[in-house]
């Protein structure tokens, strides 16, 4: 096989699967992206991206035009015709925090049923340590000859909103692989990428993914912990984060205080890692603390309001930004959702404005009122809580706020407006590490 003549199937057209499929197709591999969700596959075949992601629409167009990608629901044919089979299905959290492997197990069943030639099975989903071994064992037990496959762990580190860039220019590519035959194919796929490659054992590779997310989540909780001390001591959290970040061993990245991390990864993966460790009778105390700090951090704005007002009943609170971060329409585990639910429970009237996240939020918080226009959502409100640092919020019209809000009050959950000094304009302004 020459470089770029691999036939690749990516099973699962979610965030990771879709980006993997498109970037590899853009490198002239022949890729089929498979998903059981017919609606999603139909959309993709009609050039409609199922998620909002920078550059996705263009890349989808390009790959469909060059015919290097196809989208299908036919997993059997994909397995029978490809040299490389990526598994990129969801591994959500179960109620108790353990990893729900049911989607992955269904794919392994299909592999056992249809695999009839040698293929490298590359697992991209975030999975518990030992999964590569478990998949190998399951396939052997189901009667698949060991000559027909190798299973590799290849976790993904892309961020939503920067997914295509992060896939193409990853800080590192981690490959947990024990077979020389599979390694030769991995090199065909990954040698063209400039990123450093780490070839290691599957267990190490699987744990790298959890450890990376747990470390980043811990870094955020650490700065939030220090911010909480700042709010009592009049120390400035922004200056502290800047000063610490100048130490290259610490770095300024992921060091912004706020109402905590959300999304489909950090909350789920930190909890899963704690559970995985418990299985081995190891207590991950630092990660556990990071989770607890994050949980209380999310509700800081509500606590502040409760201190401020005796009654929540009848108060109109506008949530600015509902997505877990800007440049995405994803609202999963967003701090805003915890805030909205709590405010509604306390009897407040909650309004929401987000440039693109309203639709997704509406599905999980139907009791809030959603606005298409920013200033309509502000008009007549008692308080604004800025939950996501969307660029347009930086230009908030303070004159409008002073004139049209019942109380000109902003709780800045992302310390996003500090450089505009809203207090100088007569606005009641609260920041994380300041008065929150």
Q: Catalytic residue numbers?
A: 265
Query: How many residues appear in the chain?
Result: 436
Q: Identify the bridge partners of residue 410 per DSSP, sorted by sequence position.
A: 384, 429
Phi/psi for 71 (5° steps) reads -120, 135
CA distances from 31 to 18, 53, 118, 136, 404 (A): 11, 20, 17, 24, 54
Nearer to ligand UGA, 14 or 408 (CB): 14
As measured in angstroms, the least distance from the Cβ of 331 to ligand UGA is 11
Part of the chain binding ligand UGA (CB under 6 A), chosen from 84-92, 184-192, 254-262, 370-378: 254-262
As measured in angstroms, the least distance from the Cβ of 280 to ligand UGA is 22
Site for ligand UGA contains 158 (CB under 6 A): yes
Q: Identify the bridge partners of residue 320 per DSSP, sorted by sequence position.
A: 353, 386
Nearer to ligand UGA, 335 or 422 (CB): 335
As measured in angstroms, the least distance from the Cβ of 290 to ligand UGA is 11
Site for ligand UGA contains 254 (CB under 6 A): yes
Nearer to ligand UGA, 206 or 269 (CB): 269
Residue 154 has what DSSP assignment? -
Question: Using CA of residue 299, residue 300, residue 303, residue 309, what is the dihedral sign?
Answer: negative
The one among 29, 124, 298, 325 contacting ligand UGA by CB under 6 A: 325
Containing H/E element for 104? helix 102-114
**What's the distance, CA 81 to chain centroid?**
32
Site string for ligand UGA, 105-144 (x = CB under 6 A): ---------------------x------------------
As measured in angstroms, the least distance from the Cβ of 282 to ligand UGA is 21
As measured in angstroms, the least distance from the Cβ of 268 to ligand UGA is 8
**What's the distance, CA 37 to chain centroid?**
21
First vs last Cα of the chain: how many Å apart?
A: 60
- Residues of this chain, 257-276, that bind ligand UGA according to CB under 6 A: 258, 260-263, 265-266, 269
132 Rama sector, left if φ>0, alpha if ψ -120 to 50, beta otherwise:
alpha
The one among 52, 255, 353, 430 contacting ligand UGA by CB under 6 A: 255
DSSP reduced 3-state for 45: helix
**CA distance linking residue 134 with residue 132, whole number of Å:** 5
| Assigned token pair, 63 | 């790959």
Site string for ligand UGA, 200-239 (x = CB under 6 A): -------------x--x---x-------------------
Part of the chain binding ligand UGA (CB under 6 A), chosen from 252-260, 310-318, 347-355, 375-383: 252-260
**CA distance linking residue 350 with residue 423, whole number of Å:** 24
- # chain residues binding ligand UGA, by CB under 6 A: 22
**CA distance linking residue 242 with residue 238, whole number of Å:** 6
Residues that bind ligand UGA (CB under 6 A): 126, 156-160, 213, 216, 220, 254-256, 258, 260-263, 265-266, 269, 324-325
């Amino acid at each position: 096989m020459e470089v770029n003549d691999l036939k690749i199937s990516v099973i699962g057209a979610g965030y990771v699967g879709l980006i993997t499929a498109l970037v590899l197709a853009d490198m002239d591999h022949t890729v089929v992206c498979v998903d059981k969700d017919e609606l999603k596959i139909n959309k993709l075949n009609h050039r409609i991206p199922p998620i909002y992601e920078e550059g996705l629409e263009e890349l989808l167009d390009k790959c469909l035009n060059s015919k290097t990608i196809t989208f299908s629901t036919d997993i059997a044919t994909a397995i029978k015709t490809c040299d490389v089979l990526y598994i990129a299905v969801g591994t959500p959290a179960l109620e108790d925090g353990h990893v729900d492997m049911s989607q992955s197990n269904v794919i392994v069943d299909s592999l056992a049923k249809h695999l009839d030639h040698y293929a490298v099975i590359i697992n991209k989903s975030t999975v518990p340590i030992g999964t590569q071994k478990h998949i190998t064992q399951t396939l052997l037990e189901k009667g698949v000859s060991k000559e027909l496959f190798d299973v590799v762990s290849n976790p993904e580190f892309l961020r939503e909103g920067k997914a295509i860039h992060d896939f193409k220019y990853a800080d590192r590519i981690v490959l947990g692989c024990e077979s020389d035959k599979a390694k030769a194919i991995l090199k065909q796929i990954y040698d063209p990428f400039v990123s450093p490659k780490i070839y290691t054992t599957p267990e190490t590779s699987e744990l790298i993914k959890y450890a990376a997310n747990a470390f980043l989540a811990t870094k955020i909780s650490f700065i939030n912990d220090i911010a909480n001390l700042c709010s009592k001591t009049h120390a400035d959290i922004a200056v502290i984060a800047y000063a610490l970040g100048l130490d290259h061993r610490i770095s300024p990245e992921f060091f912004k205080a706020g109402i905590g991390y959300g999304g489909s990864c950090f909350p789920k993966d930190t909890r899963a890692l704690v559970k995985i460790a418990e299985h081995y009778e190891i207590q991950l105390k630092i990660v556990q603390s990071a989770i607890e700090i994050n949980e209380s951090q999310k509700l800081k704005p509500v606590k502040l309001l409760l201190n401020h007002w005796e009654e929540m009943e009848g108060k109109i609170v506008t949530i600015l930004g509902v997505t877990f971060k800007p440049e995405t329409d994803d609202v999963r585990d967003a701090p805003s959702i915890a805030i909205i639910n709590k405010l509604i429970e306390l009897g407040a009237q909650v309004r929401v404005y987000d440039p693109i996240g309203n639709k997704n939020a509406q599905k999980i918080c139907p009791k809030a009122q959603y606005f298409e226009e920013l200033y309509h959502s502000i008009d007549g409100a008692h308080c604004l809580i800025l939950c996501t640092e969307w660029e347009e919020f930086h230009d908030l019209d303070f004159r409008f706020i002073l004139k049209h809000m019942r109380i000109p009050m902003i709780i800045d959950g992302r310390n996003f407006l500090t450089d505009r000094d809203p207090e100088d304009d007569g606005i009641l302004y609260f920041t994380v590490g300041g008065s929150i």
